[in-house]
Amino acid sequence: MTFQQAVEKLNTIEKTLYALGHAQSVLSTDGDTVAPKNSWKGRGMALACLGELTYRQLVNPGTGEVLETILQHRSEADEITFRRAEVLKESYDDLHVLPMDEYIAWRELTNEAGAVWRDAKEKSDWNMFAPYLERILANRRRYAALKSPDQPAYDVLMDNYEKGAAMEMLDPFFRTLRDELSPLIREVASREKPVPAFMRGPWPVDRQRLFSEKIMALEGINPMNCTLGETEHPFTSGDNKWDIRITTHYHEEDPFSSMFSVIHEGGHALYELDIRDDLQFTCLAGGASMGIHESQSRFYENIIARSRAFCTPLLKILKEVFPVQTGSLTEDELYSTINLSGPSLIRTTADELTYPLHVMIRYELEKAMVTGDLSVKDIPGEWNRLYKEVLGVDVPDDRRGALQDSHWSFGGIGYFPSYALGSACGVQMLRQMEKEVDVWGTVAAGDLSPVTAWLADRIHRYGRLKKPKELLAGAMGGPLDAGIYTEYLRNKYMQLYGI
Amino acid sequence: MTFQQAVEKLNTIEKTLYALGHAQSVLSTDGDTVAPKNSWKGRGMALACLGELTYRQLVNPGTGEVLETILQHRSEADEITFRRAEVLKESYDDLHVLPMDEYIAWRELTNEAGAVWRDAKEKSDWNMFAPYLERILANRRRYAALKSPDQPAYDVLMDNYEKGAAMEMLDPFFRTLRDELSPLIREVASREKPVPAFMRGPWPVDRQRLFSEKIMALEGINPMNCTLGETEHPFTSGDNKWDIRITTHYHEEDPFSSMFSVIHEGGHALYELDIRDDLQFTCLAGGASMGIHESQSRFYENIIARSRAFCTPLLKILKEVFPVQTGSLTEDELYSTINLSGPSLIRTTADELTYPLHVMIRYELEKAMVTGDLSVKDIPGEWNRLYKEVLGVDVPDDRRGALQDSHWSFGGIGYFPSYALGSACGVQMLRQMEKEVDVWGTVAAGDLSPVTAWLADRIHRYGRLKKPKELLAGAMGGPLDAGIYTEYLRNKYMQLYGI
Residue-level pLDDT at A271:
98
What confidence tier does A111 reach under pLDDT thresholds 50, 70, 90? confident
- A49 interface with B at CB cutoff 8 Å: yes
Given a contact cutoff of 8 angstroms between Cβ atoms, the answer to whether B269 and B456 are in contact is: no
Residues of B in contact with A23 (CB under 8 A): 23-24, 26-27, 46, 50
Rounded mean pLDDT, B477-490 = 96
Strands (E), A87-240: 226-230, 236-240
Q: What order do you get walking across the sheet with B236-240 strand by strand?
A: B226-230, B243-248, B236-240
Closest residue of chain A to B226, computed from CA coordinates: A36
Residue-level pLDDT at A362:
98
Rounded mean pLDDT, A328-347 = 96
CA dist A169 → A421, A480, B277, B422 (Å): 11, 10, 55, 70
Rounded mean pLDDT, A223-242 = 96
pTM as predicted: 0.94
- B55 interface with A at CB cutoff 8 Å: no
Helices (H) and strands (E) in chain A, counts: 20, 3
Compute the distance between CA of residue B391 and CA of residue B348 in angstroms, rounded to an integer: 15
Residues of B in contact with A248 (CB under 8 A): none
Cβ-based neighbours of A328, under 8 Å, separated by 6 or more: A198
Cβ-based neighbours of A469, under 8 Å, separated by 6 or more: A163, A164
Residues of A in contact with B42 (CB under 8 A): 18, 22, 239-240, 242-243, 280-281
The Cα of B87 is separated from the nearest Cα of chain A by a number of Å equal to 21
CA dist A204 → A91, A210, A255, B204 (Å): 45, 10, 9, 16
Residues of A in contact with B50 (CB under 8 A): 19-20, 23
CA neighbours closer than 13 Å in the CB half-sphere of residue B121: 16
**pLDDT tens-digit map of B309-354:** 999 999 999 999 999 999 999 999 999 999 999 999 999 999 999 9
- A277 interface with B at CB cutoff 8 Å: no
Q: What's the mean pLDDT when you consider all of chain A?
A: 96
- Among residues A191, A196, A211, which one has the least CA distance to residue A258? A211
Indicate whether A224 pLDDT > 90.
yes
Residue-level pLDDT at B1:
93
Residue-level pLDDT at A268:
98
Angle in degrees, 0-180, between the axes of helices B417-436 and B482-496, rounded to the nearest 10? 80
Contact A36 B240 (CB under 8 A): no
Given a contact cutoff of 8 angstroms between Cβ atoms, the answer to whether A248 and A261 are in contact is: yes
CA dist B240 → A25, B89, B237, B284, B295 (Å): 19, 21, 10, 10, 20
What confidence tier does A115 reach under pLDDT thresholds 50, 70, 90? confident
Indicate whether B464 pLDDT > 90.
yes
- Among residues A405, A32, A412, A416, which one has the least CA distance to residue A249? A32
Indicate whether B284 pLDDT > 90.
yes
**Three-point CA angle A72, A78, A84, nearest 5°:** 70
Q: Would you say the C-alpha torsion A277, A279, A284, A289 has a positive or negative sign? A: negative
- B26 interface with A at CB cutoff 8 Å: yes
Residue-level pLDDT at B478:
92
Compute the distance between CA of residue A37 and CA of residue A32 in angstroms, rounded to an integer: 9
Q: β-strands B236-240, A236-240: how paired? A: unpaired
- B56 interface with A at CB cutoff 8 Å: no
**Three-point CA angle A323, A329, A332, nearest 5°:** 145
Q: Is residue B330 classed exposed, middle or buried when 0-12, 13-18 and 19+ CB atoms within 10 A define those classes?
A: exposed
Cβ-based neighbours of B90, under 8 Å, separated by 6 or more: none
What confidence tier does B29 reach under pLDDT thresholds 50, 70, 90? very high
What confidence tier does B472 reach under pLDDT thresholds 50, 70, 90? very high
Residue-level pLDDT at B164:
87
Contact A243 B15 (CB under 8 A): no
The Cα of B135 is separated from the nearest Cα of chain A by a number of Å equal to 27
Indicate whether A108 pLDDT > 90.
no
Q: What are phi and psi of B133, to 5 degrees?
A: -65, -35
Q: Would you say the C-alpha torsion A184, A188, A190, A191 has a positive or negative sign? A: positive
Compute the distance between CA of residue B59 and CA of residue B55 in angstroms, rounded to an integer: 6
Residue-level pLDDT at A15:
96
Residue-level pLDDT at B374:
98
Compute the distance between CA of residue A305 and CA of residue A258 in angstroms, rounded to an integer: 13
Residue in A16, A38, A45 nearest the CB of B19: A45
Residue in B47, B224, B240 nearest the CB of A42: B240
- Residue to substitute from A53, A236, A243, A244, interface B, most B β-carbons within 10 A: A243
Q: Does B265 participate in catalysis according to the annotation?
A: yes
Compute the distance between CA of residue A117 and CA of residue B208 in angstroms, rounded to an integer: 36
Indicate whether B111 pLDDT > 90.
no
Residue-level pLDDT at B115:
87
